[in-house]
Structure 1
Amino acid sequence: MLAVFLQTLPFFAMIGLGYAAARGGMFGPEATSALTKFVFYFALSAMLFRFSADLDLWAVLDWDIVSSYLLACLAVYLLATLVALARRRGMQEAAVEAQVAVIGNTGFLGIPMLVMLLGEAAIGPLLLILSVDLIVFSSLIVILITLARDGRMRPSALRSVGLGLVRNPMIVSISAGLAWSASGWTLPAPAMSFVVILGAAATPGALFAIGASLADKSAERIEVAIWLSFCKLVLHPAAVAFTMLVLIPVEPFAATVVISASALPVAGNVYILAQHYGVAPQRVSASILISTLVSVVTVPMVIAWLSGG
């Protein structure tokens, strides 16, 4: 446990550095927004393109991983939805709370940290579950909120879902990398150097941006935020462990990667969606703050348990 904690500590220390810089006034909201855009649209996209360009889609695509991960996510998603509805929060708030319960920070935190800790063999399973999060659940929250507001699914909402997917730089970069890999072409040396240099900025930039973005997060609705953080940090990885180790067994290393990724704290893009639709942004904000703080301990615990097992 201590060895794993020391390995993960630099990643969380970088998050802490970003938080301290923002709280100290050295890194304001505009700077945080600009850094996040740089990482999201450029550095992380370059990293994902480089990783996926070295993969064989048919060797990486494992429907057992996809189905077991999706089944576990849907179970926790349904539980969080039912608890929200039992509290009479309505379908819009229930959809946002369910999103908080299952969507972890795989892009900004999981891929940089787990690839470094577990090796580049972790890339394939990570890209699979990231694709499930982006394609299935990013679409699902839009559909549920639209249905709750309008009582029906408008063509404009479906168009918005489709455009959101094709414009997402993570989906675009993964798709472009896999397409390049399928072509059999070798990336020219200058282009590869460019992608490597740009992608190298993703890890420190993403971690610093996470910390800086936490500086303006508040801990309101603390009881609900604690429940949602418990769903994300405990129930979600437990459900994934059950489906992958018992219900739909997958290869042990892939299971280790996916369960570890499932233990990550709540993703920042859930807050962006909640703020965009005006549905419980403070609740999401508090959940991101609490889950990130607690994950300093829980993520190493999960990885240590899996490594020992």
Structure 2
Amino acid sequence: MLSVLNLVLPFFGLIFLGFFVARINRQPLEALGWMNTFIIYVALPALFFQILSKTPVAELTQWGFIIGCTASTFLVFASMFFIAFSRTRRIDESTIQGLAAAYGNIGYMGPALAILAFGAPAAVPVALIFCFDNTLHFVMTPFLMAVSGNDKREPLDLAFSVLRRIFGHPFIIATILGVGAAIFGIEPPVAIERMIDLLAKAAAPCALFAMGATLALRPLRRVPKELYLIVPVKLLIEPLLIYGVLNMAGTFPPVWIYTAMLMAALPTATNVFVIAQQYGVWVERASSSVLATTVFSIATLTMWLYLMTHDLVP
């Protein structure tokens, strides 16, 4: 148990440091702008490129794994969407609630935690899950918002916007470049390689610190009733579902299944709040979902890591 705590506590310690510093320093949320830019456009793309460029090509075409993980995410999203729609009869609110239950913090927390927990073999499943889960969310959200009437753009403009979000996202670009480098055996010059390595090492600390600061500047003012369902679905049911689906989808190395479960068990991504703010719907409750799932994930992630690292998951 001590080894698991030694693994988890530094991560949540960085989030707490960001939270604590933001509370005592009282900088506005906009002050995080350049740090978030560095994380999203430079540090995390460098990490993804570094991982994928050194990966054997055969490991990047595990379609059973990709379909199993993406289908599990979609099932969680669809289930929460229809539960919310049965209560609200609003597609836009139901979409954000579905994202809160299905869209984990796979960009900020996922890569570093999975690699630290399971070693270098976890890097490939992390990258595959990130790439295809984000594509799923980037396609579903604008489509459903357009259906709800919240997004007034023309269909062609909407389609181009979706494609831009997918293929213009720095993480997706880094993934494509990394896969290309792996296929063609391209190695950057030594100086560039060292710079990529420095940036990749900065990704996790900066991302977790920024996440903590963001949570501090968006306090939980009340507990929406939806959280009583979203929190257990996100932190407990989704990893169990992905475990079952992957065991039916094929035979994969245990590290891949554990990594997929860990990625599924991560708290709600801060992107859900950003999307809610973009469309002006369910904004405060989206912020509450991010904060609540992050707080409860301290216990649930510790539990999942203990079970997986002590061979208690069959």
Indicate the TM-score class for this superposition, using the shorter chain for normalisation.
over 0.9
**Partners of 2:91 and 2:145 within 8 A in 1:** yes
Q: How far apart are the structure 1 equivalents of 2:223 and 2:139?
A: 26
2:112 paired residue number: 112
Tell me how far 1:9 sits from its aligned partner.
Answer: 0.4
Residue 171 (structure 2) pairs with residue 170 (structure 1): yes
- After superposition, the CA RMSD in angstroms is 1.8
Instruction: Kindly report which structure 2 residues correspond to 1:71-110, keeping only aligned pairs within 5 A, or say none.
Output: 71-110=71-110
Preserved contact between residue 18 and residue 209 of structure 1 (Cα < 8 Å): yes
Which one of 270, 295, 298 corresponds to residue 293 of structure 1? 295
Does 13-22 or 153-162 show the bigger shift? 153-162
Give, as a single letter, the amino acid of the residue that structure 2 aligns with 1:269.
N
2:254 counterpart residue number: 252
**Counterpart check, 1:303 vs 2:292:** no
TM superposition shift of 1:69: 1.2
**1:261 aligned residue:** 263
* 1:106 aligned partner, one-letter code: I
Structure 1 window deviating more from structure 2 (167-176 vs 228-237): it is: 228-237
Q: Deviations over 1:181-211 (max 9, x none)?
A: 2221222111101111122111110110110
Structure 1 position 162, deviation (Å): 0.6
Q: TM-score, normalised by structure 2?
A: 0.93
Question: Does residue 233 of the first structure (1) align with residue 238 of the second (2)?
Answer: no
Q: Report how far residue 281 of structure 1 moved.
A: 1.2
Q: Mean Cα displacement is larger for which, 147-156 or 219-228?
A: 147-156
Indicate the SS of the match to 2:266.
coil
Q: Provide the residue aligned with 1:215 in structure 2.
A: 216
Partner Cα distance (2:89, 2:215) in 1? 26
CA distance in structure 2 between the partners assigned to 1:167 and 1:201 by the alignment: 22
Instruction: Name the counterpart of 1:197.
Output: 198
Query: How far 1:251 sits from its partner (Å)?
Result: 2.7
- Please state if 1:123 is matched with 2:123: yes
Task: Work out the number of aligned pairs and report it.
Answer: 309
Q: TM-score, normalised by structure 1?
A: 0.95
Distance 1:186 1:247, change over 3 A: closer
Separation (CA, whole Å) in 2 of partners of 1:249 and 1:306: 17
Q: Deviations over 1:245-288 (max 9, x none)?
A: 34645332210111111100001111111110111111110000
Aligned: 1:68 with 2:68: yes
Tell me the residue number matched to 2:275. 273
TM-superposition CA deviations, 1:192-236 (whole Å, max 9, x none): 011111221111101101101101223335221232122111111
**What pairs with 1:30-69 in structure 2 (closer than 5 Å)?**
30-69=30-69
- Aligned residue for 1:106, secondary structure, equals coil
Q: Is there any run of 5+ residues in structure 1 with no aligned partner, and where?
A: none
C-alpha displacement of 1:56: 2.9
Shift of 1:60: 2.4
- Partners of 1:105 and 1:151 lie apart in 2 by 29
Alpha-carbon contact 2:118-2:255 (below 8 Å) kept: no
Q: Is the 8 Å Cα contact of residues 104 and 262 (structure 1) preserved in structure 2? A: yes
Counterpart-to-counterpart distance in 2, 1:277 and 1:104: 20
Q: Does the CA-based 8 Å contact 2:84-2:94 persist in structure 1?
A: yes
What secondary structure, in the 3-state scheme, does the structure 2 residue paired with 1:201 have? helix
Percent identity reads 27
Greater displacement, 41-50 / 24-33: 24-33
1:27: how far off? 4.5
Partner of 2:132: 132
**Corresponding residue SS for 1:65:** helix
Which AA in structure 2 matches 1:47? L
